[in-house]
Amino acid sequence: MDLKDLYQEIILDHGKNPRNLGKFDNYNKDAKGNNPLCGDNVHVYLRLNENKKVEDIAFEGHGCAISMASASIMTDMVRGKEEKEVKEIVTDFLGMIKEKDSLETNILNEDEKTKLMSLSGVKQYPMRVKCATLSWHTLTSALDNSDQIVKTED
């Protein structure tokens, strides 16, 4: 275990200055997620256009560097992608955080994959995995129009 793997420069950067933080007016899908153990919460807003493409995405919330960076990188990465592609990226990311060594999807280019892999350090810290995955589960919930608040304790 090495803290440098967990707190890479890119994580610290996104954690400190999260991209897409806030809310925009004409969103048509949103969902909330929270981690009852630590009180972290996130609210994801997105606009899916008629072609099922993510036209815009943003999030509100507070949490640790890992959760903020994860939401920041996620929102950057899925903007402009089609719903189907977004779901594939989410599945791939969650699979990587849980067990796989690398990302497999062809939707992302190598640069994007490297960016996402910066979050793989949490694998060494089981208590922190939920910090990295909360916004991703919440994004899925928003796409699925689920009224359920995402909880990390299920």
Partner 1 sequence: MNIYDIKKEFPIFDDKIQNNDLVYLDSANSSQKPRIVVDRIYDFYTKEFSNVGRSVHYLAVAATNLYEQTRVSVQKYIRAKDKDEIVFTKGATEAINLVANTFGQKYLSEGDEVLLTELEHHSNYVPWHFLRKAKNIKIEFAEINDDGEVTLEAIEKKITNKTKIISVSHLSNVTGAILPIKEIVQLAHSKNIPVLIDGCQGAPHLKLDMQDIDCDFYAISGHKMYGPTGIGVLYAKKKWLEDLPPYQGGGGMINEVKKEGITYGELPNKYEAGTMATAQVIAFNESIKFMEKIGIQNIEKHEKELLDYGLEKLRKNNSVNIIGNPKEKGGVISFTIEGVHPHDIATILDEDGVAIRAGHHCCQILHDKLNLPATARASFGVYNTKDDIDKLDEAINKCKKIFNL
Binding site for partner 1 (CB under 8 A): 1, 3, 6-7, 12, 16, 37-41, 62-66, 68, 125, 127-128, 131
Contacts 24+ apart (CB under 8 A), 147-150: 149/31, 149/32, 149/33, 149/34, 150/31, 150/32, 150/33, 150/34
Shorter beta-carbon distance to partner 1: residue 86 or 132: 132
Min dist CB 118 to partner 1, Å, is: 15
- The distance of closest approach from Cβ of residue 119 to partner 1 in the complex, given in angstroms and rounded to an integer, is 14
Residue 44 exposed, middle or buried by CB count within 10 Å (0-12, 13-18, 19+): buried
> Where do we find the tokens 């807003």?
45
By DSSP bridging, strand 40-48 and strand 29-35 are: antiparallel
125 vs 27: CA distance, rounded Å: 34
Choose between 127 and 147: whose C-beta lies nearer to partner 1. 127
**Least CB distance from residue 9 to partner 1, whole Å?**
10
C-beta of 110: minimal distance to partner 1 in Å? 27
